């Protein structure tokens, strides 16, 4: 287990992403979540068809994606989805008699298991939920003040519809852009300012916030 690019790599990820269990040190927390390495790093082709540097652990598979931003160069393999896709369906042993089906009322499950925050959008004013922002399913990766652009990435495994989402400059209480369209899993988008003029403060801290169409805080980036 080693790093690959400076202080980035499987070793750094293993040591810094363990379970947050009181009373355990960093090594024990990582051991609880990932287990010990089973293989040395080697090139493998994952379920998406990407050939990437891969290392297997007792409870995880680490993949190195050098083209991603630093925070997402190490990704975990989607083992549960791969196992489910590979499992053959089991045919029923008996054929039930024909019945007239009655469609039940079903409430769709949320797209993510991350708890949603209550709506808090207030015309880009300071947000009381900033410390609890899930940064999921979309995260603000960087804010380029001089270029007046904000880079966002879909960090989930599903496409996200961005219609009506808003990007805010908190210091100036200014709307950077109202988003639209969709963002595929793993896709990154550079969003220019739609307001014209200077939105982001070059000389003072200026945090960025991303809200969904219901006004819920999705991502918050401290400056």
CATH number at residue 214: 2.60.40.1260
Same domain, 200 and 137: yes
| pLDDT-wise least confident of 18-22, 63-67, 79-83, 179-183 | 79-83
Cis amide prior to 45 (ω within 30 degrees): no
Q: pTM surpassing 0.85?
A: no
Asked if residue 60 is part of any domain, the answer here is yes
Same domain, 134 and 203: yes
Q: Which residue has the higher pLDDT, 123 or 48?
A: 123
Select, from the ranges 21-25, 50-54, 162-166, the one with the highest average predicted confidence (pLDDT). Answer: 162-166
Confidence of residue 108 (pLDDT cuts 50, 70, 90): very low
Q: How much is the average pLDDT of 59-77?
A: 92
Q: 196 lies in which domain range? A: 130-221
User: Which residues lie below 8 Å from residue 14, measured CB to CB, with a gap of 6+?
Assistant: 1, 30, 34, 57, 62
- Mean pLDDT across the chain, nearest whole number? 87
Percent share of the chain, pLDDT over 90: 60
Q: What is the largest CA-CA distance in the chain?
A: 74
Same domain, 134 and 217: yes
User: Which residues lie below 8 Å from residue 131, measured CB to CB, with a gap of 6+?
Assistant: 220
1 token code pair: 């287990």
Q: Quick one: CA dihedral 69, 181, 206, 194, positive or negative? A: positive
Q: How far apart are CA 220 and CA 28, in angstroms?
A: 30
Asked if residue 152 is part of any domain, the answer here is yes
Tally of domains within the chain? 2
Asked if residue 108 is part of any domain, the answer here is no
Same domain, 212 and 142: yes
**Residue where a domain terminates, one of 86, 111, 144:** 86
């Amino acid at each position: 287990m080693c790093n690959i690019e400076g202080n980035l790599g499987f070793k750094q990820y293993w040591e810094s992403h363990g379970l947050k269990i009181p009373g355990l040190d960093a090594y024990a927390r990582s051991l609880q979540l990932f287990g010990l390495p089973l293989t040395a790093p080697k090139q493998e082709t994952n379920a998406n068809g990407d050939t990437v540097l891969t290392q297997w652990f007792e409870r995880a598979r680490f993949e190195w994606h050098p083209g991603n931003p630093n925070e997402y160069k190490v990704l975990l393999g989607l083992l549960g989805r791969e196992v489910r896709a590979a499992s053959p369906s089991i045919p029923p042993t008996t054929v039930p008699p024909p019945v007239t089906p009655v469609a039940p009322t079903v409430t769709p499950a949320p797209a993510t298991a991350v708890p949603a925050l209550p709506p808090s959008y207030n015309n880009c004013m300071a947000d009381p939920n900033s410390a609890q922002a899930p940064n999921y399913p979309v995260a603000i990766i960087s804010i380029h003040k001089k270029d007046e652009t904000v880079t966002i990435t879909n960090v989930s495994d599903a496409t996200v519809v961005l219609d009506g989402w808003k990007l805010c400059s908190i210091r100036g209480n200014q709307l950077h852009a109202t988003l639209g369209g969709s963002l595929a899993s793993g896709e990154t988008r550079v969003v220019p300012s739609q307001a014209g003029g200077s939105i982001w403060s070059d000389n003072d801290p200026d945090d960025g916030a991303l809200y969904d169409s219901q006004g819920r805080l999705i991502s918050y980036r401290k400056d």
